[in-house]
Amino acid sequence: MNGFINVYKEKGYTSHDVVAKMRGILKIKKIGHTGTLDPEAEGVLPVCIGKATKLASMITEGIKGYETTLRFGKTTTTADHTGDTVEEYDFVYNPEAVKEAVDSFVGEIMQVPPMYSAIKVNGRRLYELAREGKVIEREPRAITIYRIDLIEHLPPDAVRLRIICSKGTYIRALCHDIGDRLGYGGHMDGLLRINSGHFDLAHSHRLGEIEKLKVNNQLDQIFLGFEDVLKDYKQVSVVEAKDKFLLNGNIVFFEDLQTDSNTILLDDIVRIYTSKGQFVGLYIATKKNNRLCLKPHKILL
């Protein structure tokens, strides 16, 4: 079994809990997730199975979508509703001012990761240090907020937001920073991941549903193969004489392709097949001895 299942992570589970549950359901050890969600968060958590674990880092790179409630008037130790109160403000709800503050974060911005995060510093997770009452300096990181939709005004003290962003964005930190920009503090009150790359909420499945499908031998209804997930990458195939080279993990030159190579640029990643249509994996365009070629990036045989 090599591929993906789009899991709906429910509240109370860590991402590692989901992986452990999936191992128990599928009776397979080689399973990994593609992006940590806090126990209180819920929503899309793509799970890689078997050889698909080789693609986990690529899936993680995809654009993410979230929905959250930003509550004004209070900052907390965790930047969300689970933390202790740090400071409270007398907040006066002004829809125009709120929208202006929210819109100001669209684009490429620098964000300081929260102390309660899984980032490692000197071998230790920041949240471990935070639980010991320690606060250390964190370097700001460049992230991109592609879009923020203000879904709903929730007076007297909150808004509902939909956020489309790059990998590495902390929504808790974003909520805190928007509140700070407005001048009344703010924190995240609940988080729902609505998509991770091509994996979306509408096609996600709870653990209980997955278990029932497994018992009834119906996992094929929700199982996603490599080509389902990698369909955005250009497809190429080699001439028959180069099938053996390809299957042995060797580079192949552009002239060895039976597919038009004129649209392939340096550093492009492509799906590569034998002349008979067997999928081999992902190759990346490069040069060898000034000749354009494709070299292995992720072999998935």
Active site residues: 38
The whole-angstrom separation of Cα 148 and Cα 70 is: 12
Q: Is 208 helix (H, G, I), strand (E, B) or coil?
A: helix
The torsion defined by the Cα of 47, 52, 57 and 59, in degrees rounded to 10, comes to -60
Strands 269-273, 279-288: pairing is: antiparallel
**3-state SS, residue 162:** strand
15 neighbors 2 (Cβ within 8 angstroms): no
Token reading at 295: 């070299």
CA-based nearest residue to 72, from 187, 242, 236, 243:
187
Tell me which long-range contacts 80-87 makes (C-beta under 8 A, separation of at least 24). 80/38, 80/40, 80/172, 80/175, 80/187, 80/188, 80/189, 80/191, 81/187, 81/188, 81/189, 81/190, 82/40, 83/116, 83/187, 87/185
Decide the pairing of beta strands 269-273 and 234-237.
parallel
Q: Which of 226, 205, 238, 94 is nearest to 153 (CA)?
A: 94
219, 205 Cβ separation under 8 angstroms: no
Q: What is the C-alpha separation between 8 and 68, in angstroms, rounded?
A: 16
